[in-house]
């Protein structure tokens, strides 16, 4: 059976509610779904109620951390609401809010009429993220589509991009251990260019203390998924994956199957669970 260990709801930068995501996962026949909203756990209770015993819900979050002078995303699984890691999420969110104000100022300076009020309306119950900026830019015809909005304004190095404060990767991994959670490096292609760099990075991920790495990603061809998974397992890292589903904020990506050819075996989740620390 298949699992999907990377999804986002409208509590962060997805378009669907946790209820809709879990219901969809059930209809697809997935054996487990992980809700991994950015730097928060707000949708977990709703998702758990819908999941019941029909499908395994893995409570998680996607953390934005600092590693070797650059940003990295870590997926943390089985994070409890009263855990040490959960206690740090409010501070991370405050940094996100400050960054959003800076990005609004940058876009206004570029001649684009955009406000925090519009962003709050777009995000609804969730925290504001760059996809919400992108959706508004498309509506205002400042960009042709979501990808164009990132390419023109919002991606790293573009004129409206602003970095935000992040906790150190090693600190995040230690907080996860104290919280009886496991950490996985998300979409490692954002940290490397080409297979050679991947080969150098995998041992670093293991040394850092991450439990796993996303090898089954929608942006990788099948041969690369298999090669990365084999290399990760040799280093003691659990090869995992997921669709990184965002609903309409990431068009063309389906829950469970990504662009149509993604299959993350449930054995990935079993191996992750076996590595959970016990305090």
In a domain, 160, yes or no: no
In a domain, 31, yes or no: yes
Q: Within this chain, do residues 49 and 184 fall inside the same structural domain, yes or no?
A: yes
In a domain, 86, yes or no: yes
Average the pLDDT over 3-16 and give the result: 96
Domain count, the chain: 2
CATH code assigned at 240: 3.20.20.140
In a domain, 159, yes or no: no
Q: Within this chain, do residues 23 and 138 fall inside the same structural domain, yes or no?
A: no
Q: Within this chain, do residues 180 and 76 fall inside the same structural domain, yes or no?
A: yes
pLDDT in tens, 144-186: 999 999 999 999 899 999 988 789 999 999 999 999 999 999 9
CATH code assigned at 99: 1.10.150
Whole-angstrom Cα distance, residue 271 to residue 274? 5
| Domain span at 86 | 2-90+165-274
Q: Within this chain, do residues 62 and 104 fall inside the same structural domain, yes or no?
A: no
pLDDT in tens, 121-150: 999 888 899 999 999 999 999 999 999 999
* Rounded (5°) CA angle 187-86-178: 85
In a domain, 187, yes or no: yes
Query: pLDDT value at position 43?
Result: 96
Question: What pTM was estimated for this model as a whole?
Answer: 0.89
Q: Within this chain, do residues 15 and 52 fall inside the same structural domain, yes or no?
A: yes
Q: How confident is the model at residue 278 (pLDDT cuts 50, 70, 90)?
A: confident
Q: Within this chain, do residues 140 and 101 fall inside the same structural domain, yes or no?
A: yes
């Amino acid at each position: 059976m298949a699992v999907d260990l990377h999804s986002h709801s409208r509590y962060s930068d997805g378009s669907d509610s946790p209820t809709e995501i879990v219901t969809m996962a059930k209809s697809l026949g997935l054996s487990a779904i992980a809700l991994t909203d950015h730097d928060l756990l707000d949708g977990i209770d709703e998702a758990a109620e819908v999941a019941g015993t029909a499908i395994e819900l893995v409570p998680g979050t996607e953390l934005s951390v600092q590693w070797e002078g650059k940003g990295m995303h870590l997926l943390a699984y089985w994070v409890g609401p009263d855990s040490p890691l959960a206690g740090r999420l409010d501070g991370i969110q405050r940094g996100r809010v400050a960054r959003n104000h800076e990005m609004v100022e940058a876009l206004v300076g570029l001649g684009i009429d955009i406000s925090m009020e519009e962003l709050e309306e777009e995000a609804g119950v969730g925290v504001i993220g760059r996809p919400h900026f992108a959706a508004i830019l498309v509506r205002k015809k400042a960009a042709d589509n979501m990808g164009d909005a990132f390419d023109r304004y919002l991606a790293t190095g573009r004129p409206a991009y602003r970095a935000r404060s992040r906790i150190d990767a090693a600190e995040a991994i230690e907080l996860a251990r104290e919280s009886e959670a496991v950490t996985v490096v998300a979409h490692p292609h954002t940290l490397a260019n080409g297979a050679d760099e991947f080969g150098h990075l995998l041992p670093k991920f293991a040394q850092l203390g991450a439990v796993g790495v996303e090898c089954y990603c929608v942006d990788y061809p099948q041969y690369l998924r298999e090669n990365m998974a084999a290399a990760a397992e040799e280093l003691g890292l659990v090869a995992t994956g997921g669709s990184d589903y965002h609903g309409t904020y990431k068009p063309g990506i389906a829950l469970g199957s990504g662009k149509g050819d993604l299959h993350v075996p449930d054995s990935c989740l079993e191996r992750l669970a076996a590595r959970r620390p016990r305090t």
